[in-house]
Structure 1
Amino acid sequence: MTYDNLKLTIDANIAVLEINRPKKLNALNRATIQELHEAFKSLKDNDEVRAIILTGTGEKAFVAGADISEFADYSVEEGKDLAAKGQETVFDYIANFPKPVIAAVNGFALGGGLELAMSAHIRVASDNAKMGLPETSLGVIPGYGGTQRLPQLVGKGRAFEMIMTAGMIDAETAKNYGLVNHVTTQDELMELAQKITGKILRNSSQAIKAAIKAVNANDEDGVDGFKEEINAFGEAFGTSDFKEGTQAFLNKEKPKFS
């Protein structure tokens, strides 16, 4: 499948998906959001792909925000629909994706761009990265999960400060806050993302899928995350990967997961 606003390459079980609108600093418009949904849907069904690295084209921006020109004249109902559809088709879809998603944040990750990075399971950043949620400076609030995921990652107080001031933080501050896992140079960013992904691929895809679901269960209203973990733990005993992993361990061999 070809895309107008994305680049997709697949190699050694890893898909690299780039938002490719460099002249717009990779800003998210409706077409890009739709293509992101289509791309992730195809990657979910692709048995060759076991992990995804999500990044932006160029050296300036991961995603510099949403394309404001598209919604500047929206009504209340259109605004609600914009947020609901975006969360359902992309942001929540990525957060609950059954394969690990690593965001490689190069440059600006602002507004919807930071929300996109926060939807990923792991974030690494280049040392020139700048992150923030500037929506209140436009008279609106984050609408793609920013008010929910940011406090989970950095704590309520810091989330309030970032949202209320509409300011940006640098990569090292983001690391200290727990917003990103690692910081490296821009030249080494993709290499680091590939290295982390390579470590993930040594392990059971069946177990990782269950772990993603169990971790996310803690954030769902009315769901007992501990109960979800217990169920997933028990069900793992019936998988081929459990048999392979335990036998390899007992035989002092490296497991060969299916």
Structure 2
Amino acid sequence: MIYQFLIISEENSVTTITINKPESLNALNKQIIEELSMAFSELEKSKSCRVIILTGEGQKSFVAGADIKEFSDFGSSNAENLARTGQENLFNKIENLRKPVIAAVNGFALGGGLELAMCCHIRYASENAKLGLPEVTLGLIPGYGGTQRLPKLVGKGLANEMIFSAKMISADKAKSIGLVNDVFSSETLLDECKNLAKMIARNSPLAIEKAIKAVNLYDTDKGYETEIKSFGELFDLDDKKEGVNAFLEKRKPYF
């Protein structure tokens, strides 16, 4: 499929999606959200793709928020529909995707950009990255899951501090509070993401799919039961048989 604002490339079972609108610092608009939704749906069905990396074009910005002009004249009904549609069609889709998604946060990740990074399963950031949720400066609150995902990642107190103050934090601060997994130079960020993706891609895709589902339920009353059932279900699948046989035969598994 041809996309206007996305560049998609694949290498060794790892697919990289680059949001390509650098003149607006890759700000999210309705079309980019729709294109991302379609791209993730296609990649989830792809037999060749095992891991996805999501990043922004250039070294200045991952995604510097949403395109405010698109909703500046909205009323409450349109605004609620915007948030609901975006969450259901993209942000929740990424979080619950059957394949791991790594965010390569290469610069500004503000507002909807930080919300987009937070719904990915893993976040690596460049040293120049700045992260924040500035919505209250517009008289708004985060609308793409920021009030829910940020507390889960950094705790309620720090989430309140970031949301209420609208301040940006550095990549190093983000790492120290658990908002990003690690920090690298701008020049090496994507390579580090690809190295991690290659490690993940060597493992059982069926097991990873089950792990994503279980981890996403860690803070609910369904978490332990999901883990137990998934653990049992995997014993009847070919990936478990191949993994165990490879271990016993002292060779690498082929999934």
Shorter-chain TM-score range: over 0.9
Q: Is the 8 A contact 2:115 2:145 kept in 1?
A: yes
Q: In the alignment, residue 106 of structure 2 is paired with which amino acid?
A: N
CA deviation after TM superposition for structure 1 residue 218, in Å? 2.8
Tell me how large the CA RMSD over aligned residues is. Answer: 0.8
Question: 1:194 matched to which residue of 2?
Answer: 194
Report the equivalent of 1:229.
Answer: 227
- Secondary structure at the aligned position of 1:179 is classed as coil
Amino acid at match of 2:161: E
Matches within 5 A, 1:1-258: 1-219=1-219, 223-257=221-255
User: 1:88 deviation in Å?
Assistant: 0.4
Name the aligned partner's letter for residue 237 of structure 1: F
* SS of aligned partner of 1:49: coil
Q: What is the letter of the counterpart of residue 169 of structure 1? A: I
Contact 2:12 2:198 in 1 (8 A): no
What is the CA distance between 1:8 and its match in structure 2?
Answer: 0.6
Q: Per-residue deviation at 1:219?
A: 4.5
2:50 alignment partner AA: R
CA distance in 1, matches of 2:80, 2:71: 11
What per-residue deviation string (whole Å, max 9, x for no partner) do you get for residues 91-133 of structure 1?
0000000000000000000000000000100000000000000
Structure 1: gaps (5+ residues) = none
> Normalising by structure 1, what TM-score?
0.98
TM-superposition CA deviations, 1:116-162 (whole Å, max 9, x none): 00010000000000000000000000000000000000110000000
Counterpart Cα distance in 1 of 2:73 and 2:143: 16
In 1, Cα distance between equivalents of 2:44 and 2:203: 18
Q: Partner amino acid for 2:71?
A: F
CA contact (8 A) 2:19 2:55 kept: yes
One-letter identity of the residue aligned with 1:123: R
For 1:143 and 1:125, the matched residues in 2 are separated by: 23
Residue 10 of structure 1 aligns to a residue whose secondary structure is strand
Deviations 1:70-102 (A, max 9, x none): 001111111110000000011000000000000
Q: Which amino acid aligns with 1:153?
A: L
Deviation at residue 47 of structure 1 after TM alignment: 0.6
1:251, CA displacement in angstroms? Answer: 1.3
Amino acid of the structure 2 residue aligned with 1:178: G
Aligned residues: 255
Report how far residue 12 of structure 1 moved: 1.2
C-alpha separation in 2, matches of 1:18 and 1:119: 16
Q: CA deviation at 1:201?
A: 1.2
Aligned 8 A contact 2:28 2:63 in 1: yes
Residue by residue over 1:11-50, the C-alpha shift from the partner in whole angstroms, topping out at 9 and shown as x without a partner, is 2111100111000000000010000001101101111100
4+ residue runs over 3 A deviation: none
Cα distance in 2, alignment partners of residues 184 and 217 from structure 1? 30
AA of the residue aligned to 2:232: G
Decide whether the 8 Å contact of 2:98 with 2:212 is kept in 1: yes
Q: Secondary structure at the match of 2:109?
A: strand
